[in-house]
Amino acid sequence: MEALNLKVDSVHLEFDGRKILQDIYLNCSKGEVLGILGRNGCGKSSLLKIIFGTLACTHKYVSINDDYIVKGYHNNRIAYLPQHNYLPGTIRIDRLAKMLVDEVYWADFSSHPIYQQHQLKMAPQLSGGELRQLETLMIIYSKADFILLDEPFTHISPIQAEEFKHIIRNCAKTKGIVITDHQYYNVLDVSDRIILISNGSTKPIHQPADLIAYGYVNHIN
């Protein structure tokens, strides 16, 4: 199996003269889940959008195996689950799924109860959590080599989050996955490595106590 490595470096992002990201370094290999943590507004979603290619910034270096990537979404290199719903509301779920899901994963995806139950509906007919589950699965099972997940656990119930962690770990056998969520215990649980964004820069987290030292949490259960 080909080794793949996503590298992100030298990202500079400002909004209205305010520095958001300035000293960013991350890498994620195929076979790995990288967790990103950070307080509200520290720039997690912005960083994922920059890697995916939908947010312009002053400077960035994104590469896969040292090939510079201008737009991550080109050629199915990178897929991105945004924080908010992305499926159009006027096309049936089964038609959207056939466009998005990789054939290799079709059996896994289409046998999932959430797809079985809702495939003939359109997005607005689903509850918030049902839609979130479907949207997340479609991205995880999409063709891309690297998957960026912005808050995949936030709108789903604990039992579903447990199931999704298994699916993420399973898919990480053939992809690299970058994940961020405020449910930090789920991120810690599913990730091989963790980085924290603080004051615009990335800090490697070697042990949970580092999260206390950086003021991200007061204690860890």
Ligand X SMILES: Nc1ncnc2c1ncn2[C@@H]1O[C@H](COP(=O)(O)OP(=O)(O)OP(=O)(O)O)[C@@H](O)[C@H]1O
Site residues (CB under 6 A) for ligand X? 15, 20, 38, 40-46
Nearer to ligand X, 85 or 119 (CB): 85
Nearer to ligand X, 41 or 113 (CB): 41
Nearer to ligand X, 47 or 126 (CB): 47
Q: Least distance to ligand X from the beta carbon of 1, Å?
A: 32
Q: Least distance to ligand X from the beta carbon of 173, Å?
A: 28
Contact 175, 147 (CB under 8 A): yes
Phi, psi torsion values for 89, nearest 5 degrees = -90, 5
Q: Least distance to ligand X from the beta carbon of 2, Å?
A: 31
Looking at residue 18, what DSSP letter applies? Answer: E
Q: Least distance to ligand X from the beta carbon of 23, Å?
A: 15
Nearer to ligand X, 30 or 35 (CB): 35
Question: What residues pair up with 92 in beta bridges, in sequence order?
Answer: 122
Alpha carbon distance 196, 205 (integer Å): 7
- Residues with Cβ within 8 Å of 60's Cβ and at least 6 positions away in sequence, in order, are 8, 10, 11, 12, 50
Dihedral sign (CA 140, 144, 145, 146): negative
Contact 139, 81 (CB under 8 A): yes
Alpha carbon distance 136, 139 (integer Å): 5
Q: Least distance to ligand X from the beta carbon of 42, Å?
A: 4
Nearer to ligand X, 4 or 37 (CB): 37
Q: Least distance to ligand X from the beta carbon of 44, Å?
A: 4
Question: What residues pair up with 19 in beta bridges, in sequence order?
Answer: 14
Question: What residues pair up with 194 in beta bridges, in sequence order?
Answer: 35, 205
Nearer to ligand X, 174 or 198 (CB): 198
User: CA 154: distance to chain centroid?
Assistant: 12
| Interstrand relation of 59-64 and 67-68 (parallel, antiparallel or unpaired) | antiparallel
Alpha carbon distance 107, 141 (integer Å): 10
